[in-house]
């Protein structure tokens, strides 16, 4: 199974600050034939179901604010929020869809100071 490791487990920032969170996979998620990374990011706000933010490591979904930026390739990935807003309070999960079983990271909880 591909193990997804997210760090930090929690992070507290003030509104307006930049935040980065990491997701590392135990094997490469880069598919050589199409040069795509099979990595997604999800946001789960308190009491809500997860919401897809980013697919293919860096493709923002329609309607997702451009302060959310996905980057990375291979085994190392990053989600950056360029200027955190109060409504970004949530747990952020990465997921690999390169292989079955599909696996998620344990999440990074973002708290607003």
Partner 1 sequence: EVQLVESGGGLVQPGRSLKLSCAASGFTFSDYAMAWVRQAPKKGLEWVATIIYDGSSTYYRDSVKGRFTISRDNAKSTLYLQMDSLRSEDTATYYCARRAIYFDYWGQGVMVTVSS
Binding site for partner 1 (CB under 8 A): 38, 40, 42, 44, 49-52, 55, 61, 93, 95, 97, 100-107
Give the nearer residue to partner 1 in terms of CB position, either 38 or 88.
38
Give the nearer residue to partner 1 in terms of CB position, either 88 or 95.
95
Give the nearer residue to partner 1 in terms of CB position, either 42 or 68.
42
Are 2 and 103 spatial neighbours (Cβ–Cβ below 8 Å)?
yes
Shortest distance, position 69 Cβ to partner 1, whole Å: 17
Report the distance separating Cα 12 and Cα 113, nearest Å.
6
Give the nearer residue to partner 1 in terms of CB position, either 14 or 48.
48
Shortest distance, position 83 Cβ to partner 1, whole Å: 26
Report the distance separating Cα 77 and Cα 63, nearest Å.
22
- 25-55 burial, b if ≥16 CB within 10 A, otherwise e? beeebbeeeeebbbbbbbbeeeeeebeebbb
Q: What is the CA radius of gyration of the chain?
A: 13
Shortest distance, position 1 Cβ to partner 1, whole Å: 9
């Amino acid at each position: 199974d591909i193990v997804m490791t997210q760090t930090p487990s929690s992070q507290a920032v003030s509104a307006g600050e930049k935040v980065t969170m990491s997701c590392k996979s135990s094997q490469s998620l880069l598919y050589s034939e199409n040069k795509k990374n099979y990595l997604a990011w999800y946001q789960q706000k308190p009491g809500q179901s997860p919401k897809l933010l980013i697919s293919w490591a860096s493709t923002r979904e329609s309607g997702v604010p451009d302060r959310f930026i996905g980057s990375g390739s291979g085994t190392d990935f990053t989600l950056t929020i360029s200027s955190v807003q109060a409504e970004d309070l949530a747990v952020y999960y990465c997921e690999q869809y390169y292989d079955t079983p599909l696996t998620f990271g344990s999440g990074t909880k973002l708290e607003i100071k």
